[in-house]
Amino acid sequence: MDLGAITKYSALHAKPSGLILQYGTAGFRTKAEHLDHVMFRMGLLAVLRSKQTKSTIGVMVTASHNPEEDNGVKLVDPLGEMLAPSWEEHATCLANAEEQDMQRVLIDISEKEAVNLQQDAFVVIGRDTRPSSEKLSQSVIDGVTVLGGQFHDYGLLTTPQLHYMVYCRNTGGRYGKATIEGYYQKLSKAFVELTKQASCSGDEYRSLKVDCANGIGALKLREMEHYFSQGLSVQLFNDGSKGKLNHLCGADFVKSHQKPPQGMEIKSNERCCSFDGDADRIVYYYHDADGHFHLIDGDKIATLISSFLKELLVEVPVYCTKTGVKHLHHKAQEFDIGVYFEANGHGTALFSTAVEMKIKQSAEQLEDKKRKAAKMLENIIDLFNQAAGDAISDMLVIEAILALKGLTVQQWDGLYTDLPNRQLKVQVADRRVISTTNAERQAVTPPGLQEAINDLVKKYKLSRAFVRPSGTEDVVRVYAEADSQESADHLAHEVSLAVFQLAGGIGERPQPGF
């Protein structure tokens, strides 16, 4: 380690003294102007992680669905996964070290993790379309170079595309080619082959309106669309040509406001979807004949995909995990086939190598009908971005399944009916006073909170309610559901009051009404 050079360059990316940030659920996220030092240091950390794992590591500059003024950074581990938890702690320590302590923290991490500093390092970098992203990714590159790492800057990419690149590079090209062209070709080929098998080829199944949140998804989908246009035509809205990123549009807006994005005209029963700002989430929706809006969220996407796979396979059990796709991803890896989605539209399916091999072999040997199913599965496996939840890949999977099963968007929506629900947030002095267990469905602390929630829940029919500290904002999230919207709203409000009272609420007391 050339400590002299590190000190010199670090001074060019100086940390504002006293600023404390946390590597949260999906990396660091805050106002872009506070992130320069974090980017530089994450460049350093990526080099150490790459040396330790002897693999390519990814660094993505994005703040996903958050406002355009924000930015963020996260590291991608060798198999396209989120950074290992012990390294999240290192990331937090390194980002928060005052200038004079930075070197010591860097050396501490290297020693603790037994990093061989002589080992080569390779880092790949991607960024979203935020005005601040280009300069911030340059700061990452400064960090990588000062520690002697090699790098490839992919420039503008969706988050899942960067995960894909990392996965490809660390599996010797077996998963796919680590180029944007490789990504487009792999997914599109599988999609086109799958949809060829669909018997219903009416236009209804072949066109889709896509709200791109004024983000990177628009650029990439536009580049990609001619690769799959024989199977699907997409009409892009909020493509970044005028509107602001994630403002009144995008998957997070649609999911949390339960209404269509601005800038998209929807005729009744037209199939529409929204990506978020870095295109790793997708939700679907439509207007019925009476003009009512229907949201089809991640839960229904998971149902569609798993029921389709189930027809081709066996029983599908359901498990819950803590919030954050990294937790779902790890759970899914315990199975031969794992389908996971958060309600916010973030998810994918994973197939173990053993299952993938078996399917590929059997596709050759089986009799006609079964061979067709095996071929279908083979294409489905190729179509999923198994390294990460990916709006583009998920969209193509969904479109293929709808076409294959001849399902309309309403029929899909009708697979089950959601109970009315409400999500709220409460401001507290320190959200860490709330700790949870049982996949964040029960509060352990502060004392009395879970009992209070239990008592409130008893007052309503078909009801449940959960609270948990957010992993990305300084708030507590409250979720409630019940047999009617009115009851769900009341319950959510009452639980918010309990949180406010028992967990140190600050500011105005939660008010009823939304």
List, edge to edge, every strand of the sheet that includes 28-31.
28-31, 70-76, 56-61, 122-127, 150-156
Q: Indicate the Cα dihedral angle 175, 380, 303, 438, nearest 10°.
A: -20
Shortest Cβ 347–ligand 16G spacing (Å):
9
How far is the C-alpha of 281 from the C-alpha of 112, rounded, in Å? 36
Q: Which range in 89-97, 227-235, 442-450, 469-477 contacts ligand 16G by CB under 6 A?
A: 469-477
The contact pattern for ligand 16G, residues 24-63, with x = CB under 6 A and - = no contact, is -xx-------------------------------------
Q: Which is nearer to Mg ion, 206 or 346 (CB)?
A: 346
Burial letters for 205-227: b for 16+ Cβ neighbours within 10 Å, e otherwise? bbebbbbbbbbbbbbbbeebbeb
Residue 468 among known ligand-binding residues = yes
56 vs 472, which CB is nearer to ligand 16G?
A: 472
Among ligand 16G, Mg ion, none, partner that 278 touches (CB below 5 to 8 angstroms by kind): Mg ion
Residue 390 binding: pick among Mg ion, ligand 16G, none (C-beta 5-8 Å cut-off by kind): none
Spatial contact of 69 and 31, defined as CB atoms under 8 Å apart: yes
Does 99 sit near ligand 16G (CB under 6 A)? no
Of residues 121 and 162, the one with the C-beta less far from Mg ion? 162
Residue with smallest beta-carbon separation from Mg ion? 64
CB atoms within 10 A of CB 73: 31
CB within 8 Å of 417: residues ≥ 6 apart: none
Neighbouring residues of 85: CB distance < 8 A, sequence distance ≥ 6: none
342 binds, among ligand 16G, Mg ion, none (CB under 5 to 8 A by kind): ligand 16G
Annotation marks residue 268 as catalytic:
no
Minimum distance from CB of 472 to Mg ion (Å)? 10
* Residue 212 contact among ligand 16G, Mg ion, none, beta carbon within 5 to 8 Å by kind: none
212 binds ligand 16G (CB under 6 A): no
Rg of the chain over Cα atoms, rounded to whole angstroms, equals 23
Strands (E), 8-47: 28-31
d(CA 380, CA 349): 9
Q: C-alpha 92: how far from its chain's center?
A: 21
246 is in an annotated binding site: no
Is 280 a known ligand-binding residue?
Answer: yes
Q: What are phi and psi of 352, to 5 degrees?
A: -70, 155
Closer residue to ligand 16G (CB): 64 or 214: 64
- Give the residue with the Cβ less far from ligand 16G, 462 or 506: 506
Ligand-binding site membership of 252 (annotated): no
CA within 13 Å, CB half, 288: 10
Smallest distance from ligand 16G to CB 24, Å = 7
Among 472, 488, 499, 505, binds ligand 16G (CB under 6 A): 472
What sections of 320-387 are H helices per DSSP? 325-332, 353-365, 368-383
| Separation of alpha carbons 116 and 153, rounded Å | 24
Choosing from 10, 64, 393, 496, the catalytic residue is: 64
Give least dist CB 388 to Mg ion, A.
Answer: 10
- The one of ligand 16G, Mg ion, none whose footprint includes residue 276, by CB under 5 to 8 A per kind, is Mg ion
Determine the Cα–Cα distance for residues 496 and 423; give it in Å rounded to an integer.
Answer: 10
> What SS3 state is found at 349?
strand
Residue 6 CA: distances (Å) to CA of 14, 27, 31, 186: 12, 23, 25, 40
What is the contact mask toward ligand 16G in residues 352 to 381, using x (rule: CB under 6 A)?
Answer: ------------------------------
Please state the φ and ψ torsions of residue 474, each to the nearest 5 degrees. -85, 65
Q: Is 471 in the site for ligand 16G (CB under 6 A)?
A: yes
471 is in an annotated binding site: yes
In the structure encoding, which two tokens stand for residue 124, read together?
A: 């790949």
Residue 471, binding choice from ligand 16G, Mg ion, none, Cβ under 5 to 8 Å by partner class: ligand 16G
Residue 85 or 291 having the CB closest to ligand 16G: 85
Task: Name residue, tokens 């923290």.
Answer: 105
Q: Rule CB under 6 A: is residue 90 a binding residue for ligand 16G?
A: no
Q: Would the annotation count 470 as a binding residue?
A: yes
Annotated binding-site residue? 241: no
| 214 in a labelled binding site | no
d(CA 360, CA 114): 40
Supply angle C-alpha 324, 330, 333, rounded to 5: 140
Residue 274 binds which of Mg ion, ligand 16G, none (CB < 5-8 A, kind-dependent): none
Residues near Mg ion, by CB under 5 A: 64, 276, 278, 280
Q: Least distance (Å) from ligand 16G to the CB of residue 83?
A: 11
Main-chain phi, psi angles of 27, to 5 degrees = 95, -165
Nearer to ligand 16G, 390 or 494 (CB): 390
Q: Does 477 bind ligand 16G (CB under 6 A)?
A: yes
* Closer to Mg ion by Cβ: residue 62 or 170: 62
Q: In 3-state terms, what secondary structure has residue 166?
A: helix
Q: Does 432 appear as a known binding residue?
A: no
Q: Which of residues 317-346 bind ligand 16G (CB under 6 A)?
A: 323-326, 342, 344, 346
Which residues define the annotated binding site for substrate? 342-344, 468-472, 477
Binding region: 64, 276, 278, 280, 342-344, 468-472, 477
- Write out the catalytic residue numbers: 64
* Residues tagged in the binding site annotation for Mg(2+): 64, 276, 278, 280
Residues that bind ligand 16G (CB under 6 A): 25-26, 64, 323-326, 342, 344, 346, 470-473, 477
